[in-house]
Amino acid sequence: MKTFLDRSFAALLFSGLLALQSTLSAQGVKSQPTLANVRYGKYDRDFLDVFQVKTAKPAPVLIYFHGGGWLGGDKKDANPDPMLKKGIAVVAADYRFTTGTPDAAPFPAPMLDSARVVQFVRSHAKEWNIDPNRIALTGSSAGAVISMWVAYHEDMAKPKSTDPVERFSTRVTCILPQSGPTTLDPKVILKRIGGNPTITDALLPFFGVRSLRELDTPDKQKLVADASPITHVTKDAPPTFMQYVFPLGGTPLPEDTPINTSIHHSEFGVILKEKLDAVGVENVLQTAGDGSDPQALWGFLVKHLKPDAVPSTK
């Protein structure tokens, strides 16, 4: 099953990590950003691209965070054309890696950068013809984790901050996470998902440790819980449409399962759906081969972002 946001999910071997890379969509030549490499923060990778859409009224916006295990990936993967054609602006953002660059830092660095993206977009809403009350987040793999973490986390606005960007809300209208781990707790992953006991090499630099055993201390357990999107789910969480490219079933997976399969398995969606259902949050889980409507995500997006039917040509 291919999603509307993906040209493909391709295996990427990067620093020992087999990760999923996604793109925001179609084949062929893609639109160039209206504004490229806009700096939104002070760190080395704090840049974003803006793809504006010509609409009579301020347009809703979809913010895209790339995948790559917090070790690789780039906002340039984004192809916003399917969104633009439906009257939805797009912002594609980079964020700090956990290793390998001058400002690399472990959790929560990638998440905090991404939360600032939401605030920065809101701070420029009028200038960019964007409706600050209609913001959605999406991303695949690590980008999905970021989308969920920011969306489910309590509002990170700081009304009294001397930085005007920090005064804006981080809350969003809805999210569309794709193939994202919904918990980063190794014990839960091995119990519910199974697979290789090492889980993925990406977790070590993400948590700033040398082995998974180091995560067993009380302080690190608090860090693991804070990093897991599911921890932050409340009844106020935004509507969520989850997509996974692997079918349900077969869990816990055998130890020889490719890490690419286990760390992006649809059972993660089941874990999140259980929590969202329990607190009464609207959600949809779509997995490979489940027979669901391939256009359902579009319906979900239109329902919540309410874009203009036809972008203005003026």
How many independent structural domains does the chain possess?
1
pLDDT band (50, 70, 90) for residue 309: low
What number is the average pLDDT over the span 157-181? 98
Q: Which residues lie below 8 Å from residue 96, measured CB to CB, with a gap of 6+?
A: 43, 44, 45, 46, 103, 104, 105, 109, 110, 113
pLDDT band (50, 70, 90) for residue 28: low
Residue-wise pLDDT tens digits, 291-303? 999 899 999 999 9
Cross-strand bridge partners of residue 176: 138
The β-bridge relationship of strands 47-51 and 59-65 is unpaired
What pLDDT score was predicted for residue 25?
37
What pLDDT score was predicted for residue 29?
63
What pLDDT score was predicted for residue 103?
98
Tokens coding 181 = 């781990």
Q: Bigger pLDDT: 25 or 182? A: 182
Q: What percent of the chain has pLDDT over 90?
A: 85
What pLDDT score was predicted for residue 78?
85
Tell me: pLDDT of 264 over 50.
yes
Task: Specify if 250 maps to a domain.
Answer: yes
Tell me: pLDDT of 266 over 90.
yes
The β-bridge relationship of strands 174-178 and 130-140 is parallel
Q: Which residues lie below 8 Å from residue 249, measured CB to CB, with a gap of 6+?
A: none
DSSP states along 121-162:
HHHTTTTTTEEEEEEEEEEETHHHHHHHHHHHSPP---TT-S
pLDDT band (50, 70, 90) for residue 146: very high
What pLDDT score was predicted for residue 313?
47
Residue-wise pLDDT tens digits, 50-68? 999 988 899 999 999 999 9
Task: Specify if 240 maps to a domain.
Answer: yes
Task: Specify if 292 maps to a domain.
Answer: yes
Q: What domain range includes position 126?
A: 10-305
What pLDDT score was predicted for residue 277?
98
Low-confidence winner among 24-28, 124-128, 169-173 (lowest mean pLDDT): 24-28
Mean pLDDT for the chain overall: 90
Tell me: pLDDT of 263 over 80.
yes
CB 107 within 8 A of CB 153: no
Task: Specify if 289 maps to a domain.
Answer: yes
Task: Specify if 310 maps to a domain.
Answer: no
Determine if the pTM surpasses 0.85.
yes
What number is the average pLDDT over the span 74-98? 94
CATH of the domain at 233: 3.40.50.1820
pLDDT band (50, 70, 90) for residue 23: very low
pLDDT band (50, 70, 90) for residue 310: low
Residue-wise pLDDT tens digits, 1-16? 333 343 333 222 222 2
What pLDDT score was predicted for residue 30?
80
Cross-strand bridge partners of residue 48: 38, 93
What number is the average pLDDT over the span 216-223? 96
Tell me: pLDDT of 177 over 90.
yes
Residue-wise pLDDT tens digits, 108-133? 999 999 999 999 999 999 999 999 99
